[in-house]
């Protein structure tokens, strides 16, 4: 993951695992000074792990809007990722941009959903349904945009290997995620998503 802002630039390497919609573990492997730093997501919430202090800290709701690892993703993004189906209703239609035709998914939050965005609009490649772009709206204004590119074989699937998140108020900044390898449908020990499993994964080299 590469982060570029007006104040700094940084690149980190991450190894991650996930099971279903609620369990995920992300461990930084490089640079060396941050190796072992981890984030754990479970049904109960989100935790950060600092290996030098051997300290696992739950992220309180008041800090969910804070940046994750200095990127343009927030802690809330990690928590809400699995809740789009529950929080939003989706309408599909066709969308034309120049000579290109896309399938458009317009997602509007349910009345009782506690969400950040008033709508989320995804453009999909019509033959493969692979994502092209996602626009996040506050009322009628796009506040950030995510681009997907470089479709290639990852595991046994063809998927975009690069995504870039750009905030609309800082268009020269971005967070770029490049997927180097993926594996699907493998067995993962459920104990990995526990404090003990997290510490074991954090120490792995």
Structure tokens at 165: 């998140």
Residue 107: CATH number of its domain? 2.50.20.10
The answer to whether the CB of 27 falls within 8 A of the CB of 191 is: no
Helices (H), ranges, 36-175: 75-80, 84-87
Domain that holds residue 108: 2-203
Contact residues for 52 (Cβ-Cβ < 8 A; gap 6+): none
One digit per residue, the tens of pLDDT, for the chain of length 205 reads 999 999 999 999 999 999 988 899 999 999 999 999 999 999 889 999 999 999 999 999 888 889 999 999 998 888 765 567 788 999 999 999 999 999 999 999 998 888 889 999 999 999 999 999 999 999 999 999 999 999 999 999 999 999 999 999 999 999 999 999 999 999 999 999 999 999 999 998 6
* Contact of 14 with 177, CB cutoff 8 Å: no
What does pTM read for this prediction? Answer: 0.90
How many separate domains does the chain show?
Answer: 1
């Amino acid at each position: 993951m590469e982060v570029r802002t007006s104040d700094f630039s940084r690149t980190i390497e991450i190894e991650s695992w996930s099971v279903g919609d609620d369990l995920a573990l992300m461990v930084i492997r490089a640079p060396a000074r941050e190796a072992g730093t981890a984030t754990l997501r479970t049904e109960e919430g989100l935790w950060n792990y600092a290996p030098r202090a051997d300290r696992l800290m739950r992220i309180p709701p008041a800090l969910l809007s804070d940046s994750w690892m200095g990127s343009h993703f927030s802690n809330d993004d990690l928590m809400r990722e699995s809740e789009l189906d529950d929080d939003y209703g989706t309408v599909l239609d066709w969308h034309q941009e120049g000579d290109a035709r896309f399938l458009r998914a317009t997602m509007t939050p349910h009345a009782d959903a506690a969400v950040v965005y008033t709508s989320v609009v995804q453009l999909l490649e019509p033959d493969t349904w692979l994502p092209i772009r996602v626009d996040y709206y506050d009322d009628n204004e796009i506040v950030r945009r995510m681009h997907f590119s470089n479709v290639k074989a990852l595991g046994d699937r063809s998927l975009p290997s690069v995504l870039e998140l750009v905030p609309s108020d800082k268009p020269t900044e971005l967070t770029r995620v490049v997927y180097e390898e993926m594996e699907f449908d493998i067995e993962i020990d459920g104990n990995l998503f526990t404090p003990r499993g997290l510490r074991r994964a954090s120490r792995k080299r």
